[in-house]
């Protein structure tokens, strides 16, 4: 993966255009995303894994983030009354202690505050959503480059064997 990226590879308006301009090579991009994965998925460094597997772990995490942002973005309004009503019905149907009910209620309240605060700062939300999308596209690009490199290696081995 020593090939140098061409800034012309990204079409004008392509979401990854800025990232292609920042990195001077695939190796530099790979190094950045493996470091990012170290912070986002530290458990993937507890066992020996290939760079491909670590990139796949990062892609899964970024995809989950993108899906969460998509779910929140398409949710036009948050009805606190409906959430509380549904949570109350769930608690009444669940055989748990009062202590666990209070803990669950606290967790739901914290989650609701997080969602409400995120949507209040919609410009931050949009920026985080865009950043996750760009990073996911770049990781997929690297995975595709790894696939292409592996298929070239297989072709070379076949040619040598013949």
* Residue 56 confidence class, pLDDT cut points 50, 70, 90: very high
User: pLDDT, tens digit, for every residue of 74-124?
Assistant: 665 656 666 666 666 666 666 667 677 677 777 777 777 777 776 666 777
CA distances, 85 to each of 24, 47, 76, 88 (Å): 54, 44, 19, 5
Q: Which two tokens stand for residue 144?
A: 């595709």
pLDDT at 7: 47
Q: Which of 1-15, 66-80, 100-114, 135-149 has the lowest mean pLDDT?
A: 1-15
| Strands of the chain, DSSP E | none
What integer best gives the mean pLDDT of the chain?
Answer: 76
9 confidence band (pLDDT: 50, 70, 90): low
What is the pLDDT, as a whole number, of residue 12?
46
Residue 54: band (very low, low, confident or very high) from pLDDT cuts 50, 70, 90: very high
| pLDDT value at residue 154 | 80
């Amino acid at each position: 993966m020593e090939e140098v990226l061409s800034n012309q590879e990204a079409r004008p308006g392509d979401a990854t255009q800025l990232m292609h301009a920042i990195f001077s090579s695939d190796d530099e991009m790979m190094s950045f995303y493996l470091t990012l994965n170290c912070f986002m998925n530290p458990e993937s460094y507890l066992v020996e894994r290939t760079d491909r597997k670590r990139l796949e772990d990062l892609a899964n995490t970024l995809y989950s983030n993108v899906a969460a942002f998509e779910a929140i973005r398409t949710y036009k309004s948050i009805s606190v009354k409906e959430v509380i009503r549904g949570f109350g019905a769930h608690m009444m149907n669940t055989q748990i202690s009062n202590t666990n009910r209070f803990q669950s209620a606290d967790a739901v309240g914290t989650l609701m505050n997080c969602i409400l605060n995120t949507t209040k700062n919609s410009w931050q939300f949009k920026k985080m959503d865009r950043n996750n999308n760009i990073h996911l596209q770049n990781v997929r690009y690297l995975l595709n480059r790894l696939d292409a490199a592996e298929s070239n290696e297989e072709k070379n081995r076949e040619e040598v064997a013949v």
